[in-house]
Amino acid sequence: AGTFNYTVTTSGGCAPADNASGTLTVTPLPNIALTSANATQTRCQNVAIANITYNVTDATGAFVSGLPAGVTGSYLGGVFTISGTPTVAGTFNYTVTTSGGCAPADTASGTLTVTPLPTATINYSGTPFCKSLGTAQSVTLTGTNAYTGGSYSSIPVGLTINAGTGAITPSTSTAGTYTVTYTIPASGGCATIPVTTNVTITAIPTATISYAGTPFCKSLVTAQNVTLNGTGAYTGGIYSSVPAGLTINTSTGAITPSTSTAGTYTVTYTIPASAGCAAVPVTTSVTITAVPTAIISYSATSYCKSDGNQNINLTGTGAYTGGTYSTSPAGLTINASGRITPSTSTAGTYTVTYTIPASGGCAAVPVTTSVTITAIPTATISYAGTPFCKSLVTAQNVTLNGTGAYTGGTYTAPAGLTINASTGDITPSTSTAGTYTVTYTIPASGGCAAVPVTTSVTITAVPTAIINYAGTPFCRSVATAQNVTRSGTGAFTGGTYSASPAGLTINAGTGAITPNTSTAGTYTVTYTIPPSGGCAAVPVTTSVTITAIPTATISYAGTPFCKSLVTAQNVTLNGTGTYTGGTYTAAPAGLTINASTGDITPSTSTAGTYTVTYTIPASGGCAAVPVTTSVTITAVPTAIISYAGTPFCRSVATAQNVTRSGTGAFTGGTYSASPAGLTINAGTGAITPNTSTAGTYTVTYTIPPSGGC
């Protein structure tokens, strides 16, 4: 290439030869030359390529074809550069071609291989794994593109893992949670890629259970809690026990001794399966102790102070032996084995307590019995108040005093004295008067023989009396004293008289009464026989009545009564004394009257005025008394009215008088007419036609009320 000036010269002719000249300019062919390391590269998808550069000469530019998406070419200052990040995988043969120079253009080519980015996931089916697993647990590896052939690692330290296969061995690993990383190897221009998963190794849970206080006494009614300690996921398990008989809460492990059967039990707490570990049972032992029982007794409940040593009988259940004896109150001679010595003991009743010793979780248990040491009894008996009057109907108590077991004996007496053999009570009223020796026999008891003691008691006959007044009741009109009649037995004379209530005039010495100075009423007269022979004063009574002279008034409310009344009209009767029960009469004849009630019937009576007499009947020694009142029966008035000349023409201007006739008090009434329209004088009954409205009217004359009508 270059600029060439040429000359063409003739030859073979005449000289000088002719010539001709010209210029040839030769342009060099375009050239493209690689200046970077290489034109062929293998790159990972989405990873930038190393720039590929070309020098371009004798051309004005260049262009490229066949590049993958994401990679482009650019020309600047004679240099063509291929750069970028491929976004698609595959093999791409590209060509760079010059432009703007001589033809033919120069070309350069190369290859870009784009490797797809590998992906992977790993997981361990079954995680968490219990540390009890001795077999290797495989990993599951899945992915795309060139994801195999990598290596496995884990953090933190402690997980037994096969770097080539990813298999883990739980039994040789430390419990914990690990991040396992699988590193996809570098290939096809792609760098290594780590992917992770988590895996957990669970420690085998451990637990211990215990019951503080075992053995437990069956007397415990409160639930006894279990103590649970452990490691790992040891909580949330269930409790059970064998053999049957233990009351246990399966959720909390609490046991209730009082509702359990006495015995020794194995309690199992089953740690629940969790985090890959199977359920784990742990056990403890617990004992429920039956409450020991015992019974103590002596061959007798009472011993005389003269008796020798007395042994105790002890029986029971459970750990009842080995206890101690005590007594209350002090005074009983007792030794460590429970034997008592009555002769050196103080007489009395004692509670002997045997205390079963505490054992098997049960507190000490006291059991008791009673024993009595009896002193040789002594007694005295007496009857306060002897002699007793035969009038006494209430039992008279004996006073019994003594020492030792002196009560509970029996009483006896000669025939004639009513005595209660058990209580010693005597009943004078059912006894024969006389003096008796009463014997009380202290019963044999506590080994002591019966002991008799005596006292004397006297029963005195009761004086009697009867009083009465012949002729009672007495009318208050009697002015002479009325004597009492008295009779009786024994020392019945010399007594005094009294009366109740107050108001009776009575002589306290003789019993005579005076009616006319006494207040009317019924009295109880008491004659009090004076006390004598051990008998208290004896009152005897009779009843006497002083009758007041009766008074009465009668009246008929509403008199005069109209003869139109058909209902009986009652009389009002008031009075004092025995004024009721009398009879009614009327004068003159003509009044209808009920002789018993005094009721009168106007409608069946003759009009007139009557004197009604009520006769108070004789009673209480008083004669019959008549009282009177006046009553009037009025005849019903009658009337007739009429108008001579009716009908009247409305042209009549003069008043038209009424004609009225009748019987009884028929005058002085008022006139009215209906319907409205008639001019009428209400006082006279006269009507005025010309000021009235034409029509037919009813004129009413109203007779005024009078005489009860």
Task: Give per-residue pLDDT as tens, 456-493.
Answer: 999 988 899 999 999 899 998 889 999 999 999 888 99
Give per-residue pLDDT as tens, 117-166. Answer: 999 999 999 899 999 999 999 999 999 999 999 999 999 999 999 999 99
Look at residue 592 in the predicted model and tell me its pLDDT.
97
Q: What does each C-alpha distance from 529 to 26, 464, 493 come to in angstroms? A: 194, 8, 7
Tell me: pLDDT of 1 over 90: no
Separation of alpha carbons 565 and 559, rounded Å? 12
Tell me: pLDDT of 692 over 80: yes
Percent of the chain with pLDDT over 70: 100
3-state secondary structure 243-286: CCCCCECCCCCCECHHHCCCEEEEEEEEECCECCECCEEEEEEE
Q: What is the mean pLDDT of residues 434-452?
A: 89
Look at residue 232 in the predicted model and tell me its pLDDT.
87
DSSP state of 213: T
Look at residue 624 in the predicted model and tell me its pLDDT.
87
Look at residue 189 in the predicted model and tell me its pLDDT.
87
Look at residue 409 in the predicted model and tell me its pLDDT.
96
Look at residue 247 in the predicted model and tell me its pLDDT.
97
Give per-residue pLDDT as tens, 84-110. Answer: 999 999 999 999 999 988 889 999 999
pLDDT category of residue 444 using cuts at 50, 70 and 90? confident
Separation of alpha carbons 701 and 673, rounded Å? 9
Q: What is the mean pLDDT of residues 678-690?
A: 96
Residue 37 · residue 29 · CB < 8 Å: no
Give per-residue pLDDT as tens, 225-259. Answer: 999 999 988 999 999 999 999 999 999 999 999 99
Give per-residue pLDDT as tens, 509-545. Answer: 999 999 999 999 999 999 999 998 788 899 999 999 9
Look at residue 321 in the predicted model and tell me its pLDDT.
94
Separation of alpha carbons 609 and 631, rounded Å? 6
Q: What is the mean pLDDT of residues 168-191?
A: 95
Residues 6+ apart with CB under 8 A from 414: 436, 437
pLDDT category of residue 53 using cuts at 50, 70 and 90? very high
pLDDT category of residue 275 using cuts at 50, 70 and 90? confident
What is the distance, to the nearest Å, from the Cα of residue 307 to the centroid of all Cα atoms in its chain?
A: 61
Query: Which of 37-41, 538-542, 621-625 has the weakest average pLDDT?
Result: 621-625
Q: How many CB atoms lie within 10 A of CB 23?
A: 8
Look at residue 478 in the predicted model and tell me its pLDDT.
87
Tell me: pLDDT of 639 over 90: yes
Percent of the chain with pLDDT over 90: 83
Tokens of 428: 């004078």
Q: What does each C-alpha distance from 395 to 189, 277, 386, 428, 461 come to in angstroms? A: 135, 94, 13, 7, 16
Structure-model confidence comparison of residues 680 and 451, the more confident one: 680
Look at residue 103 in the predicted model and tell me its pLDDT.
87
Cite the beta strand spans of 185-226 per DSSP E.
193-202, 206-210, 216-217
* Of 38, 42, 66, 65, nearest in space to 52 by CA: 38
Look at residue 686 in the predicted model and tell me its pLDDT.
96
Tell me: pLDDT of 446 over 80: no
What is the distance, to the nearest Å, from the Cα of residue 701 to the centroid of all Cα atoms in its chain?
A: 82
Q: Which residues of 612-624 are buried (b: 16+ CB within 10 A; e: fewer)?
A: bbbbbeebbbbee
Tell me: pLDDT of 397 over 90: yes
Tell me: pLDDT of 690 over 90: yes
Q: What is the mean pLDDT of residues 270-280?
A: 91
Q: Which helix (H) or strand (E) holds 546?
A: strand 538-547
Tell me: pLDDT of 577 over 90: no
Q: What is the mean pLDDT of residues 268-283?
A: 93
Mean pLDDT estimate for the chain? 94
* Of 377, 379, 416, 374, nearest in space to 398 by CA: 379
Look at residue 562 in the predicted model and tell me its pLDDT.
95
